[in-house]
Amino acid sequence: MVNCEQTFMDFLLQHQEKHNRTYHFLILMNSVLNAARRIQHYYLTGALRGLLGRTGTTNVQGEPVLQLDKIANEITRHYLRASGRVIHAVSEEEKRIIPMNPEGRYFFYYDPMDGSSNVPHNLPIGFMFGTAKRNLDGPEDNHLRAGREYIAAGMFVIPTGTFTLALRDAGCWRFHIDETMSFVRPTRVVLPDSPGTWELSFNSANRDTWAPGVRQWVVDHEQRYAFRYLGALAADFHRVLTNGGMFLYPAILNHPDPKKNRPRGKLRLMYEGSVVAFMCREAGGRAIDETGTPILDVLPLDPHQRTALYAGSAALVDEIATVLRGS
Ligand code: AHM
Ligand code: MG
């Protein structure tokens, strides 16, 4: 039997034609796929090439930079620039906004290798991104976009060969890599209604540092659902998207070492929180921050702004929103 699957590019071409759109977005996404495939290659061969260690420098967050963080960032930056379609990019690995082509059409926000604690083990990490379009009706001021303005957001779980992409008002879709390194077989992702499969995902070691209401909610609910935690947002959220439930990374408020408190949360808004929130909305779910505000409404004031994150099935996120508003 000959195997001829519908590829991601076929899917996107049809989508653009059906909605009378230009091909600029295809060119942008082609550069993203080129980057993802190359990152996947370096990740798969990283252990044998001795690339799983640190560079010896620290990033904008003061965290150690891994050799693969640097390689993945350079790969992504190269292909985005070569596409000619990006006005500027924000990368977790670069303190400053990266200017590209002032005549471009998109803003691109990315974390090329998220879930760094998994890297030394070659276990799943994420390449996460969100993109927004320039103002086509008047002057463009290049402000940082809130998730509500993204036109697409997605994540590759590397090296598992899965790619999930949400398109504005067109749903959330999953693809799998095939023997030709093409992503194929578009499958719609909708958060399941039935609590029978729901999971909770959180770093349980942090529970004593959370707001008391959140801690109590978890105590009251955790027996009802499965608990899973891989320690990489893309991989953990991939499970929640498929099985339903909620991923939570609450604000750290009561750490025994006060220097380690993170009242705004740990994850980054532009290339982690808003990406997940956008995918969540297109899959029928919700995502909020520590104040109960929808993540998609939060306008970034800083490219590397942090956020708490509660994302997943609407019923659970709504319950925790009530708790947060009362705490
Ligand atoms: P990173 O950007 O340094 O990799 O941190 C982000 C990661 C997320 O992928 C993951 O959800 C979270 O940090 C895990 O944090 P923790 O190790 O505290 O559980
Ligand atoms: Mg990261």
pLDDT digits (tens, 9 = 90+) for 212-231: 999 999 999 999 999 999 99
Classify burial at 57, counting beta carbons within 10 Å of its beta carbon; exposed 0-12, middle 13-18, buried 19 or more.
exposed
Among 25-29, 33-37, 61-65, whose mean pLDDT is lowest?
61-65
Q: Whose CA is nearest to atom 14 of ligand 1?
A: 231
pLDDT the model gives residue 80: 98
Query: Cβ neighbours of residue 311 under 8 Å, at least 6 residues apart?
Result: 237, 240, 246, 247, 248, 276, 277, 280, 285, 286, 287, 288, 295, 317
Secondary structure (DSSP) of 118-181? GGGGT--EEEEEEEEEPPSSS----PPPPGGGEEEEEEEEETTTEEEEEETTTEEEEEEE-TTS
The CATH label, of 3.40.50.720, 1.10.240.10, 3.40.190.80, 3.20.19.10, for the domain at 195-326 is 3.40.190.80
* Per-residue CA distances from 137 to 35, 100, 196 (Å): 31, 21, 47
| Rounded percentage of the chain residues whose pLDDT exceeds 70 | 100
Among 4-8, 59-63, 240-244, 303-307, whose mean pLDDT is lowest?
59-63
Residue in 266, 275, 306, 309 to alter for ligand 1 test, most ligand atoms within 8 A of Cβ? 266
Pairwise CA distance, residues 120 & 22, whole Å: 41
pLDDT the model gives residue 314: 97
Among 6-10, 232-236, 323-327, whose mean pLDDT is lowest?
323-327
Ligand showing the shortest atom-to-Cα distance for residue 73 = 2
pLDDT the model gives residue 142: 96
pLDDT in tens, 92-132: 999 999 999 999 999 999 999 999 999 999 999 999 999 99
Residue 264 has pLDDT above 90, yes or no: yes
Task: State the pTM of this model.
Answer: 0.96
Please state the CATH superfamily assignment of the domain spanning residues 8-189 in this structure: Fructose-1,6-Bisphosphatase, subunit A, domain 1 (3.30.540.10)
Confidence of residue 157 (pLDDT cuts 50, 70, 90): very high
Mean residue pLDDT across the chain? 96
Cα-to-centroid distance, 305 and ligand 2 (Å): 13
Confidence of residue 324 (pLDDT cuts 50, 70, 90): very high
Residues with a CB atom less than 6 Å from ligand 1: 63, 114-117, 203, 231-233, 236, 249
Confidence of residue 43 (pLDDT cuts 50, 70, 90): very high
Pairwise CA distance, residues 15 & 309, whole Å: 31
Q: Which atom of ligand 1 approaches the CA of 63 most closely?
A: 3
Ligand showing the shortest atom-to-Cα distance for residue 232 = 1
Classify burial at 96, counting beta carbons within 10 Å of its beta carbon; exposed 0-12, middle 13-18, buried 19 or more.
exposed
Please name the residue that has the structure tokens 């109960």. Answer: 292
**Would you kindly state where each structural domain of the chain is located, as residue ranges?**
8-189, 195-326
| Rounded percentage of the chain residues whose pLDDT exceeds 90 | 89
Confidence of residue 282 (pLDDT cuts 50, 70, 90): very high
pLDDT the model gives residue 327: 64
pLDDT in tens, 285-304: 999 999 999 999 999 999 99
Task: Note the Cα 73 to chain centre separation in Å.
Answer: 15
Pairwise CA distance, residues 287 & 74, whole Å: 30
pLDDT the model gives residue 32: 98
pLDDT in tens, 51-73: 888 988 888 778 888 899 999 99
Cα-to-centroid distance, 249 and ligand 2 (Å): 14
Pairwise CA distance, residues 221 & 325, whole Å: 18
